[in-house]
Structure formats: structure tokens, C-alpha cells
Chain A
Amino acid sequence: MPDNAKMKAEKVDFFYGPRHALKGIDLDICENRVTAIIGPSGCGKSTFIRLLNRMNELIPNTILKGKISLDGRDIFDPSVDPVEIRRRVGMVFQKPNPFPKSIFENIAYGLKVNGVSSRKIIEERVVKSLQEAALWHEIKDRINDNALKLSGGQQQRLCIARCLAVEPEVILFDEPCASLDPVSTQKIEELILQLKKDYTIAIVTHNMQQAARVSDYTGFFLLGELIEFDRTQRIFTAPSDKRTEDYVTGRFG
């Protein structure tokens, strides 16, 4: 592949206790590209992207084998601080999860825990990330309102803004549009296309059209295995595996 791999998973196996959730995954997340992860429910999509920012290690009794690297460095190396990985690899969750604080504080929080203390810089970055997340013009008059008063779609864009504010290098989206209406979904898709200029993006989605619209690469997971990984166009027009074809054409899953 001509594109440069920002993150690399090599022979990754993952276990929740006795459950073998991921089996021998090899997958590259390319720089300034959007990588879509598709597959039926329970096939390990979330498990996989949550490994990329070390979120899974919060779950007890899990085992990881294989290697995942960021810019060539093993992120599970004992010398690596998970907090640093999570700062460089941001995540937007399936369900919007704003803090029960004001809109401003939601975004300022990430900056503060990352050591930004200048009020002026914080204010600038709050505005900038809200603009990037296409939320600014909707909420600019009520930036001190509680974030829980926003609509679901606005909350999700706030979560995206919150993630952008700390300027990660990679952004992981786990079904970001699952609880959103078509208008909000479209806004977020446009946003993702905007963002890939500056960020590397991985997105889990159940929506085939969405994967086809926003992504450059697509990986198809089935029962913990990566069945096929290729350019999105190929996956949707000429997949090499019969099971991929069945899935993307809606014949199962």
C-alpha cells in the first residue's frame, strides 16, 4: 500500500477470560486516511479499536497477544504510559457521553488534564474545536449551559469537539452515529471527511453506505477474525472473499 501506516496491528489475539474475541488480526491504520471497520454484531469491532488506545486494559481478566504500534513504537511496551497513548489516540464512543458540566468545561477538561493552564489558550481552543466539530454556531450563546441539555446529535458533536481539543493524532470512532438522526449523521460524516486532512481516523460502523462514503480502507470482521482488508472501493465492488461480498450486499449479518 502506498499510504503510510500510522498504527499497525500485528498478529493480535485478545481474550476476555476464556472468550477468544480477536484471532490473529493484522491491520494497518494509515495516516490521514479513514479506515472503516465493519462486521456483524459481536464480531470484535469495538474490542479491536479499544485496543488501539489501550481502553480494554480497564477490563479485568483480559489477555492480549501480538503487537500494536503507533509510529513504529509498541504501545504495550512496559515503558509506555497508557495515559500518553490515550492522549495521542483519542476516542469518540457509540453513546454520547458528555460530562455533567457546562459545554465549556466539557472541552476545557481535556486541556486542563493535559497541562494547559492559560485561560486564554483554553478559551481559544474551546472555540476552535467547537468550530471544527460544526457545533459552534448552534451553541455559541450558551457555552456555559449544562452539556446534558443539548440534543443527542449535538452531544455527540460536543464529544467530538472535546476529543479534537486535546489534538490527538489518531481519532477512533465507535459507531458515532448509532444514536443519531440522518441530519446529524450527515453532519458527522462531513466532519470526518474534513478531519482526515489533519488526523488519522478509524471508524466502526454498521452502516454500509457510511463506510463506503467516508472511508478509504475497510476491514471486514467476522467472529473475531479479519476476513478481508482492502481499499474501500475494492471491498464494496470486487471483494475477494465470498463472505465479505455477502455481508456488504446485505445477504447476511
Chain B
Amino acid sequence: MKNGHITQKIGFSALFGCMLITMFFLGAIIYFTVVRGIGAISWGFLTQVPRSGMTEGGVAPAIVGTLYLTAGSILFALPLGLACAIYLCEYSPRGFFVNIIRMSINNLAGVPSVVFGLFGLAVFVKFMKFGISILSGSLTLGILVLPIIISATQEALMAVPHSLREASLALGASKWETIRKIVLPSALPGILTGVILSIGRVAGETAPILFTAATFYSRRYPDSVFSEVMALPYHIYALMTEGTHPEKQTAIAYGCALILMVLVLGVSAIAVYIRQRQRIQNA
């Protein structure tokens, strides 16, 4: 009895300790990014183009570039992923073939992102001749997050009770009407969560855009989908590895990191909020 009590105390302490360590690292990341980045942030930093070989001025083109790449990749991946998930969930006959497809999609999620970068270079940049551009980068990032969108959508579709589909069909609705008007609206919060997680992912990825979209130094904003762009994560990488004024560049890199972190955490917060609200509605 007494022994058991002590064991339990030790167990709890160990768990508590692990939790503290995790919190410590999380807090440290946020703390350092904020402390070292906040100095660089100013209105000009957010709105101006870089000057003097990346050592002065703002990073607006990188922010804009990241927004373009994110929007482009979601615009590509969302309809494709949605259609794919709907087909797999609602139309395809269950069986060996479909299981293989499901497994492949899940495996796609485990492929390292630099491999997507190489793929994008070979297919979009070279073979399809889109060049190093927003288009190539968006397509590459889109493929990277396709598995996230597909599995989130599949889960959301499967969570819609079968009885709702039967209710709709029994009223004389066609299968497509049932999917469009009953199943998809019910699955929407789950799908949205997948999209938002994808946004967080693409905004922060460096490797896939390394060879397909990103440029280190640009004083202009992109003027078409075939332009190269600056992007925040790649810009950080470049500032830390290239250039002539490491001291000045490091400060800018931390500023970029802070902006990126705020963007991604903000988007995740929206995802949490939507899921929370859905839970309240269902309760």
C-alpha cells in the first residue's frame, strides 16, 4: 500500500518533469525568436524592399512571396485533394486497389520535403518549363500537402454518420446531391482544419522551394506566376549562409523568423478555434 503510493508519486513526478522539459523548449523557442527578432521589426521592415545587399531595408517581398506561394499551393491542392478524397470515400469500391491507393497517399506524407523539391525541379521547372517561379513552387508545395488535405478530408467524410446519407437518399436525393448538400457541409470543419494545417506547413517549408521558386535577393515584387519570389523561410536560410555582413543579416533573419512564427501560429490558432467551436456545437 505504502510502496504503491510512492511508486505512483515517482511516476507522476516523472511525467510532470517530462511535461516541464517540453514546455521549456517550446517556451525557449518562442522566447528567443521574440527577443532576438523584435528589434528588427518596424513598419518599414514589413513594408519596404531590401536595400544595400540585404543588409538594410525591409523584407516585404519575402512576406508577399510567402503569401503567394501559400495561396497558390492551397488553390492547387484543395480542389484536387477534395475531389480525390470524395472519390476514395464515396465512390470507389472498397477493395485491394483502393487500399493500395490509400497506403500510397499516406506514404507520400512521409517523403522528405527536399525530395519534393527535387521532384519539382525535374518536373515543373525543367520538364514543363515553368522555370523557377511561383507556379513551380506552388505546385511543388501543393503536392507536399496533398496527403494532409486528403487524409483530413477522408476522416471528416467518414465521420459523417451513414444514417444522414440514408436519410437524404430515402428522400429521393441523388448521390451527388447527398454528398454536396448533406455530407460536405457536415464535414466542412474537419476539411477546414486540414486546410489550415496545410497552410501552416507550406508557409514554413524551405526545401521544396529551394530549387523551384525562391530567390535570395529581389528588389521587386513578383509580376506574374512565372516570376521568382523571395520567401520567408528561404530568406532566413540565405541570410544565415550567404552575404557579406553576417552581423546585420542575423538580426534580419531573426526578424523574418518572428514574422513567420506569428503567421504560422496565428493560422494554427484559427484551426484550434474552429475545432473547439465545432465541439461545442456538437455537445
Contacts and interface: CB of A to CB of B under 8 A. Distances in A.
Interface of A: 53, 55, 58, 60, 83-84, 86-87, 90-91, 93, 95, 97-100, 109-110, 113-114, 159, 162-163, 166
A117 B227 CA distance: 48
Contact of B171 (A58, A84, A100, A162): A162
Given A97-B161, A100-B186, A86 B170 contact: yes
B10 interface: no
B172 interface: yes
Interface of B: 93-94, 161, 163-174, 177, 181-182, 186
A55 B166 contact: yes
Given A113-B172, A113-B173, A159-B167, 5 more contacts: A55-B166, A91-B170, A93-B167, A99-B167, A109-B168
- Centre residue among A53, A84, A93, A99 by max chain B CB count within 10 A: A99
Given A60-B94, A113-B181, A90 B166 contact: no
Chain B contact residues: over half helix, strand or loop, or mixed? Answer: helix
A232 B173 CA distance: 34
> Which 4 residue pairs spanning A and B have beta carbons closest together?
A87-B172, A110-B171, A97-B163, A113-B173
B163 to A, nearest CB: 4
Contacts of A55: 166, 169-170
Contacts, number: 64
Contact of B181 (A53, A83, A109): A109
Contacts of B177: 113
Nearest to A100: B186
A97 B172 contact: no
Given A97-B164, A109-B181, A83 B173 contact: yes
11 contacts: A58-B169, A60-B93, A84-B172, A86-B171, A93-B167, A99-B168, A100-B186, A109-B173, A110-B172, A113-B168, A113-B174
B164 A95 contact: no
B178 to A, nearest CB: 9
Contacts of A93: 163, 166-167, 170
Contacts of B93: 60
Contacts of B94: 60
Contacts of B181: 109, 113
A99 B174 CA distance: 16
Contacts of A60: 93-94
